[in-house]
Structure formats: structure tokens, C-alpha cells
């Protein structure tokens, strides 16, 4: 069976974890944590980064930093992982679900104006499959209505938005006021199974982010010698990962360019091999707008209907290939449907019914991709 995903080891993880263990400081905010954070800040120009125990936790910190009041509204796409919604719901906000675009599963920026009310505070776009949302449009709406933008960049490491207005290329996660990345084992790089990163781009949130991160204390300032004692100054929680996880992540960061090059080669092979079948109308291929780069997080296909997708997944499974679908529309979920305002979100439902993800991970071989694409050709020849 070719699995859908397999976490990749660069070879240095155990070495750095051993170092972390024998450094004698295992709790968070040690040498490896600082090394990882500096790396992100230098490579991508993020104003301030804090490692977190998961992408979900990083999103929760974003939501806490937005300082929402009961009844405040947050606009998020319905086609996303539950964490995007949960983070804001936990803060007492009302989640207003937006539909996806026709061309790809990202939030449809043209619909945003129609969803904004006097209570709207935040827009949280999700860069699905690491493909940029239409950030110029989203930031313009946010500026006009004085809203915060939280990028769910969980899938978007090392991916960019190229502004058609300024031609400037910005790393995803650097455009909104706040952003969250995930290092779960299903993402391009992992911190040993679970991990995340909070990105603070707006100076106003830097100090409070560090305090929330350090369980509501100003301990980080104390360790930098900026205050002579530390105490409880705000809300907070335990968002810091252990140094063991940071050490694991460091081994992956050192090899990011190699990981990305390999994933792109696999992605492009899929694309080339499957394009003729897409041209025959069997399914549509991943969509990359001119303003987006490809970080090869995911290779997905979109089928004409639910039955065709189901038959496709079944055939691949019978031939030893683990293809999966995902994201049931959050607006019609068991937990939230009674609180949703009843608007139909047809594009979101279409992706929930018709999208399939093919295996894509570092240790997948080009031979295996050839086997998978041949199997798909046979399915349509039969
Ligand atoms: C993976 C993911 C998350 C959650 O990240 P975890 O690290 O698993 O908590 C949130 N949003 C999106 C879009 C994701 O893909």
C-alpha cells in the first residue's frame, strides 16, 4: 500500500534531540526554540515569531490577541480544518462562514463586503494547499473596514504571494497582522508530530503575544533582563513546545530547501502525467493563480461529482494507493449547523464532495508516482 502520507526524517533529528536532552534544559524557550524562531524571522522577514505546540495553539494565540468581545464576528472560509473556527469560537466570537472560489478552495474575496457588519472584527483567510489567497483584495477590504487579518498559513510554509499591484513577492504569513503555521506530521515539515508557529507582523501585538505564550507572565522580559522580577500580568496558557520538539524542527528547517525541491518534483510529475486526463474532462487539476507560488504541500484533483470521486478513491484503494478526501463543510457540521445563518455555500460543498488528495510526501519515489498515475489511466481506460 502506498500510504497517503509518511513523515520524513532528514537524519539529524535524533542528533539534535540528544543535544537538547543533554543541554540540561528541556522546557520551552531554550536554545533550539530561539534558533528556530531566528531562522523564520531572518528567512521570511516576520516581525516576531513564537514556536507553539500546534498550529491550533498558534491560531488560538492569534484569536486571543484579537481581543474579541462577545458577539464580535469573524469571517472564515467554511472549507477548512476545524481549528480555524475553534480558535475564534473559544474567544466567544460568532463565526461567519464564507464560500470558496470557483477556481480553487480559497476564500472568495469578492464575497467579503457582503458579509461585513458593524460587529465584524477579523478576516481569517486560509491558504489552502499552500496556495495564496487573493491577499491584495482581502487586505483592501480589511483596511477599509478597520479589520484584523489572521492568516491561517498552516499549509503554507515557504510559499509566496506576488502582488499584481506592486509586483512585490511576500512570504505567506507575512501579510496579515497575525499568522499561524503548523508543523503537524502531515505538513511539509514537522516538529516531531505536532508543532506550530505564531507570527506577529503588527508591532502592537508583540509584547502581549510573548505574555500569552508564557502563561500570562512577563517571564520572557525577565530573562532578557528588561525587568528585575516577573509575575502574572495577563491571560495566557502553556503554548511553548518542549526543546525536544524544537530540536526536531531544527533538523527539518536545515533541510527545508531539499524537502521543498523533492516535493515540487513529485508535484510536477503528477501534474504532467495527469494533465491529459484533465483535458478530457475527467477531473480538474490544482489551480495556481498568477499571484501564487507552489509550495507543493498538496496534490489534489476535483471531480465532477460525489459518485465519481467515491469510485475513484475505491479503485485506487483496491490497487494499493491511499487517496483521501477532506473537509466536510463546517457550516453544515453537527456542531455548528444550528448556529450558521442558513446561507448556502455551494462551492464549499462542491469541494467537500468532489476533492481528492493523492499521496505526496518526501519519501515517495518517482516510480511510485508513475505507478499511481498509470493506475489512474487504467481506471479511465477500463
Ligand atoms: C493542519 C491545519 C491546522 C491545524 O494545525 P495542527 O498543527 O494540526 O493543530 C489548522 N488549519 C489548517 C488549514 C490546517 O491544515
- The structure's pTM equals 0.98
Residue ID of nearest Cα to ligand 1 atom 2:
154
pLDDT digits (tens, 9 = 90+) for 88-129: 999 999 999 999 999 999 999 999 999 999 999 999 999 999
106 lines ligand 1 (CB under 6 A): no
Residue whose C-alpha is closest to residue 309's, from 351, 348, 352, 355: 355
Instruction: Work out the angle between the directed axes of helices 82-89 and 55-65 (0-180°, nearest 10).
Output: 40
- Specify whether domain 13-254 bears CATH 3.40.50.1370: no
CATH class of this structure's domain 256-381: alpha beta
Q: How far is the CA of 62 from the centre of ligand 1 (A)?
A: 14
Q: Choose the residue to mutate in 52, 81, 194, 360 for probing ligand 1, maximizing ligand atoms within 8 Å of C-beta.
A: 81
Grid cell, residue 136, equals 491584495
- pLDDT (0 to 100) of residue 223: 87
For the CA of 184, the nearest atom of ligand 1: 7
How far apart CA 99 and CA 343 sit, in angstroms, is: 10
Say what the pLDDT of residue 342 is: 95
Q: What is the DSSP letter of 202?
A: S
Decide if 360 contacts 309 (C-beta within 8 A). no
Helix residue ranges, H only, the chain: 13-23, 31-44, 55-65, 82-89, 112-115, 135-145, 206-213, 219-223, 243-254, 256-279, 306-318, 346-354, 366-381
Helix, strand, coil percent content, the chain, rounded in steps of 5: 40, 15, 45
Residue nearest to atom 6 of ligand 1 (CA): 55
Residue ID of nearest Cα to ligand 1 atom 5? 55
Residue 126 Cα: closest atom of ligand 1: 13
Show me where the domains of the chain are located: 13-254, 256-381
pLDDT in tens, 8-47: 999 999 999 999 999 988 999 999 999 999 999 999 999 9
252 lines ligand 1 (CB under 6 A): no
Amino acid at each position: 500500500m502506498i500510504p497517503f502520507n509518511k513523515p520524513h526524517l532528514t537524519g539529524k533529528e535524533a542528533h539534535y534531540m540528544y543535544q537538547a536532552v543533554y543541554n540540561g534544559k528541556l522546557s520551552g524557550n531554550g536554545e533550539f526554540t530561539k534558533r528556530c524562531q531566528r531562522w523564520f524571522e531572518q528567512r521570511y522577514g516576520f516581525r516576531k515569531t513564537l514556536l507553539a505546540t500546534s498550529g491550533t495553539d498558534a491560531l488560538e494565540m492569534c484569536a486571543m490577541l484579537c481581543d474579541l468581545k462577545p458577539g464580535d464576528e469573524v469571517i472564515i472560509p467554511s472549507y477548512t480544518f476545524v481549528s480555524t473556527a475553534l480558535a475564534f469560537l473559544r474567544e466567544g466570537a460568532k463565526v461567519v462562514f464564507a464560500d470558496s472560489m470557483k477556481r480553487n478552495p480559497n476564500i472568495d474575496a469578492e464575497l467579503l463586503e457582503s458579509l461585513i457588519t458593524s460587529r465584524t472584527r477579523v478576516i481569517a483567510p486560509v491558504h489552502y494547499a499552500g496556495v495564496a489567497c487573493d491577499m491584495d483584495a482581502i487586505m483592501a477590504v480589511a483596511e477599509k473596514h478597520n479589520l484584523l487579518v489572521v492568516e491561517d498559513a498552516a499549509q503554507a510554509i515557504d510559499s509566496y504571494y506576488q502582488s499584481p499591484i506592486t509586483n512585490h513577492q511576500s512570504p505567506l504569513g507575512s501579510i496579515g497582522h497575525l499568522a499561524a503555521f503548523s508543523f503537524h506530521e502531515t505538513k511539509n515539515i514537522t516538529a516531531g508530530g505536532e508543532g506550530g508557529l505564531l507570527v506577529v507582523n503588527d508591532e502592537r501585538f508583540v509584547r502581549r503575544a510573548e505574555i500569552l505564550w508564557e502563561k500570562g507572565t512577563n517571564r520572557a522580559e525577565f530573562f532578557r533582563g528588561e525587568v528585575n522580577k516577573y509575575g502574572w500580568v495577563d491571560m495566557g496558557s502553556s503554548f511553548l513546545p518542549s526543546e525536544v520538539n524544537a530540536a526536531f524542527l531544527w533538523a527539518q528547517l536545515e533541510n527545508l530547501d531539499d524537502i521543498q525541491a523533492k516535493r515540487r518534483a513529485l508535484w510536477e510529475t503528477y501534474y504532467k502525467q495527469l494533465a491529459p486526463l484533465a483535458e478530457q474532462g475527467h477531473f480538474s487539476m490544482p489551480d495556481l493563480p498568477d499571484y501564487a507560488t507552489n509550495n507543493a504541500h498538496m496534490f489534489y484533483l476535483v471531480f465532477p461529482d460525489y459518485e465519481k470521486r467515491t469510485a475513484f478513491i475505491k479503485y485506487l484503494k483496491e490497487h494499493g494507493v491511499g487517496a483521501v478526501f477532506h473537509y466536510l463543510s463546517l457550516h453544515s457540521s453537527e456542531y455548528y449547523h444550528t448556529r450558521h445563518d442558513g446561507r448556502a455555500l455551494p462551492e464549499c460543498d462542491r469541494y467537500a464532495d468532489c476533492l481528492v488528495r493523492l499521496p505526496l510526501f518526501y519519501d515517495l519515489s518517482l516510480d511510485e508516482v508513475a505507478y499511481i498515475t498509470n493506475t489512474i489511466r487504467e481506471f479511465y481506460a477500463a
